[in-house]
């Protein structure tokens, strides 16, 4: 493979425009050659040097090394399988598929075809999780007993994307935001021993869930994952409590908002202002402190740095299909718990 990775992108919606193209187009190690857009001419209008193709198969030609799939959730498994069988390296927007079994099948197929398969779990590089990892590594809070992660919004309207409101398994809020929150928890703490979930349908006449609370139980801590579309006055996004103290962080990572505004992701493009830093309230060497803790800058570019290293130097992928399968297995347990009202054992 040449040292410049030639990329084909399936889909030209928000995911492609906000989370992938800003990094790929400003990284000389990658070249976006083609974008699959079934009917619109938006690619040619915005990026006239990139070829528009009308069939997904047109991304699977010899001039493409890496296929990035950003199409609706229920197409991910079929498209990924087709691309892997064509000998392409593949990145799939979360979720990789609807079921853990499909994800494991894709992982095994990629290994057989000797190609790389990764999932775009960019939220591992949010500023919140990076700051929490720093806190945990420094043991600033002692032994962790409770961890809460919220991703709340306020909207009176149903989802504007019709494919997210079909009621099919794989398109609701758990598969949209829950997959990020669960991956966040597993990345920090590993698999839980058990879980309990409450899933609700708050908007009138919605077919897909728009509210959830998921509780993950570990031997020494509980993790609460929550998301709602009816939260006008938001509390902490992250709340972590330990035997020595607490850390509270308000507000979500700023990368998405900056990317949507057209900010080029270079330099200190997303350094967070002090007024948004979280509060650390703890003891250090027996001395009580309460202070604003500087937020570690998020960095979605790190995901593509790893992809490049994996494709050119055979470095290990940081986000793997096997990891995605574990998250999807937990999601299956989430629905089982919500439907039965029972705490579900994992191990």
283-331 residue pLDDT tens: 999 999 999 999 999 999 999 999 999 999 999 999 999 999 999 999 9
Which has the higher per-residue pLDDT, 159 or 34? 34
- Assess whether pLDDT exceeds 70 at residue 335: yes
Strand-pair category, 222-228 with 211-217: antiparallel
Per-residue pLDDT, averaged over 168-194, amounts to 94
Percentage of the chain beyond pLDDT 90 is 89
CA distance 7 to 64: 6
What confidence tier does 18 reach under pLDDT thresholds 50, 70, 90? very high
pLDDT digit string (tens) for 156-177? 776 656 555 666 788 889 999 9
Q: Residues with Cβ < 8 Å from 160, sequence gap 6 or more?
A: none
- Assess whether pLDDT exceeds 90 at residue 230: no
What pLDDT was estimated at residue 159? 61
What pLDDT was estimated at residue 207? 83
Tell me the two tokens of residue 194. 């058990």
What pLDDT was estimated at residue 164? 58
What pLDDT was estimated at residue 167? 66
Percentage of the chain beyond pLDDT 70 is 97
What pLDDT was estimated at residue 161? 60
What pLDDT was estimated at residue 203? 79
- Assess whether pLDDT exceeds 90 at residue 143: yes
What pLDDT was estimated at residue 155? 82
Tell me the two tokens of residue 289. 């402190």
Highest mean pLDDT among 59-68, 194-203, 204-213: 59-68
What pLDDT was estimated at residue 5? 98
CA distance 175 to 328: 9
What pLDDT was estimated at residue 24? 98
Please provide the average confidence, as pLDDT, over all residues in the chain.
95
What confidence tier does 106 reach under pLDDT thresholds 50, 70, 90? very high
The separation between CA 143 and the C-alpha centre of its own chain, rounded to angstroms, equals: 27
- Assess whether pLDDT exceeds 90 at residue 99: yes
pLDDT digit string (tens) for 56-97? 999 999 999 999 999 999 999 999 999 999 999 999 999 999
């Amino acid at each position: 493979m040449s040292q410049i990775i030639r990329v084909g992108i399936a889909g030209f919606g928000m995911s492609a425009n906000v989370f992938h193209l800003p990094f790929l187009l400003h990284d000389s190690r990658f070249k976006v050659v083609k974008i699959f857009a079934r009917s619109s001419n938006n690619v040619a209008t915005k990026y006239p040097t990139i070829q528009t193709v009308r069939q997904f198969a047109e991304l699977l030609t010899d001039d493409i090394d890496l296929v990035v799939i950003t199409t609706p959730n229920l197409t991910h498994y079929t498209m990924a399988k087709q691309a892997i069988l064509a000998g392409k390296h593949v990145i799939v927007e979360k979720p990789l598929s609807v079921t853990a079994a499909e994800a494991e099948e894709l992982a095994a197929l990629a290994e057989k075809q000797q190609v790389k398969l990764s999932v775009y779990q960019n939220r591992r590089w949010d500023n919140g999780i990076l700051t929490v990892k720093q806190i945990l590594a420094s043991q600033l809070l002692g032994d962790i007993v409770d961890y809460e992660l919220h991703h709340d919004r306020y909207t009176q309207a149903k989802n504007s994307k019709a494919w997210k409101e079909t009621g099919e398994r794989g398109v609701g809020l758990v598969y949209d935001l829950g997959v990020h929150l669960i991956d966040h928890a597993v990345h920090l703490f590993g698999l839980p021993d058990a879980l309990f979930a409450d899933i609700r349908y708050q908007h009138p006449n919605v077919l897909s869930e728009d509210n959830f609370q998921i509780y993950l139980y570990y031997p020494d801590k509980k993790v609460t994952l929550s998301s709602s579309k009816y939260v006008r006055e938001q509390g902490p996004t992250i709340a972590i409590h330990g035997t020595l103290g607490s850390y509270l962080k308000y507000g979500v990572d700023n990368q998405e908002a900056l990317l949507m505004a057209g900010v080029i992701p270079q330099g200190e493009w997303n350094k967070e202002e002090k007024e948004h830093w979280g509060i650390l309230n703890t003891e250090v060497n027996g001395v009580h402190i309460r202070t604003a803790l500087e937020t570690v800058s998020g960095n979605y570019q790190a995901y593509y740095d790893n992809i490049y290293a994996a494709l050119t130097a055979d470095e290990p992928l940081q986000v793997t299909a096997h990891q995605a399968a574990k998250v999807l297995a937990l999601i299956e347990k989430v629905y089982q718990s919500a439907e039965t009202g029972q705490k579900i054992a994992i191990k």
